[in-house]
Amino acid sequence: MKDLISIADLTSKDIQDLITSAVELKREKRGPLLDGLVLALIFEKPSLRTRVSFDVAMIQLGGHALYLSPAEVGLGQREPVSDVARVLSRYVDGIVARTFAHQSVALLAKHATVPVINGLSDEEHPCQVLSDLLTIYEKKGTLEGLTIAYIGDTNNVANSLILACALMGIDFRIASPKGYGPKGEILTQARNITVTDDAREAAKGADVVYTDVWTSMGQEAEAERRRKAFAGYQVDAELLSLAKKDSLFMHPLPAHHGEEIAAGLLDAPQSVVFDQAENRLHMQKAILVRLLG
């Protein structure tokens, strides 16, 4: 395994091994496992959790992270993606790319001789979902046989969740307005999935209720149309009450309070949202040690 571009790059054993490693690294905090190594962060989109977690992960593992802004790189504009990949491979030990187009990450991986990690693309967010699985495992003690109810848009996070649940024996329900559900190739890879437009039906008896923003970065022109389409898909206390009493509420952040979640929901007893955010750091470490170590 040279790169992490998609959850589909992994096996169920890979995911379990990454979770086990993340748990150990969370306990140890620091160590020289990547002493002297350098990680390049190519970001076309702004970020809080992805940038800070990878940066701090490298510091705590003894390495260094180098942030490259959109203006500095101009991925695919100032110079071809293939050239960027080949040049950076001469300087650094790994690349994290957070891009608008999934194809940009795939091209970087194709032409780089060092590991490439998808820090987010329009199609997938594998690092986020691996961190989510770590969080669920910590809280539930297992993954197999659980049910996740995802309420909202089939975005990059939802796509990665669909693939991860298929690998780990998790039942996945997704409730979206018509036209916003999963489609295409992602459905051909799905297992144990229920697709509905009824949020209440999806949430009933679920172990985890998960949601994300209705409008992702790059879709700002559609924001008003999406608010109208998703008006009945807000996760609130009433919807959460339909899930199991010990259910978890999850959101990858940033959250739009009053849109996809009711105000105050992040502080609900079931919320593990900030545990998710913390676990980005520990799962990032596990991924870096696996690919660079």
101 and 196 share one domain = no
In a domain, 90, yes or no: yes
In this structure, the number of other CB atoms found within 10 A of the CB of residue 101 comes to 16
Residue 65, Ramachandran bin (φ over 0: left; ψ between -120 and 50: alpha; else beta): beta
In a domain, 1, yes or no: no
77 and 215 share one domain = no
21 and 88 share one domain = yes
Percent of the chain whose predicted confidence (pLDDT) is above 90: 88
Return the HEC string of 36-89. Answer: CCEEEEEECCCCCHHHHHHHHHHHHCCCEEEEECHHHHCECCCECHHHHHHHHH
The alpha carbons of the chain give a radius of gyration, in whole angstroms, of 19
CATH number, residue 67: 3.40.50.1370
User: What does the mean pLDDT of the chain come to?
Assistant: 95
194 and 261 share one domain = yes
In a domain, 2, yes or no: no
Is residue 160 predicted with pLDDT exceeding 90?
yes
101 and 190 share one domain = no
Beta strands in 94-192 (DSSP E): 94-98, 116-120, 147-151, 171-175
- The residue whose two tokens read 């510091």 is 59
In a domain, 138, yes or no: yes
Q: Give, as one character, the DSSP assignment of residue 149.
A: E
51 and 82 share one domain = yes
Q: For the segment 215-228, what is each residue's pLDDT rounded down to a tens digit? A: 887 778 888 999 99
Q: For the segment 3-29, what is each residue's pLDDT rounded down to a tens digit? A: 999 999 999 999 999 999 999 999 998
Q: pLDDT at position 292, please?
A: 97
Q: For the segment 70-109, what is each residue's pLDDT rounded down to a tens digit? A: 888 888 788 999 999 999 999 999 999 999 999 999 999 9
Q: pLDDT at position 70, please?
A: 87
118 and 167 share one domain = no
102 and 140 share one domain = no
120 and 256 share one domain = no
CB 122 within 8 A of CB 101: yes
Q: What's the total number of domains in the chain? A: 2
Rounded to a whole number, what is the distance in angstroms from the first to the last CA of the chain?
12
**Region 226-239: what's the mean pLDDT?**
96
In a domain, 148, yes or no: yes
The enclosing H or E element of 248 equals: strand 248-250
112 and 155 share one domain = no
In a domain, 120, yes or no: yes
80 and 172 share one domain = no
Tell me the three state secondary structure of residue 210: strand
At residue 155's C-alpha, the angle toward residues 151 and 158, to 5°, is 55
C-alpha separations of 279 from 27, 72, 135, 206 in Å? 12, 30, 7, 22
**Region 23-52: what's the mean pLDDT?**
95
Range of the domain at 183: 126-276
In this structure, the number of other CB atoms found within 10 A of the CB of residue 211 comes to 28
The token pair at 167 is: 């690998």
pTM of the model: 0.96
Question: Could you tell me the pLDDT band of residue 33, with boundaries at 50, 70 and 90?
Answer: very high
Residues whose CB falls within 8 Å of the CB of residue 37, separated by 6 or more in sequence, listed in order:
58, 62, 63, 64, 93, 94, 292
208 and 66 share one domain = no
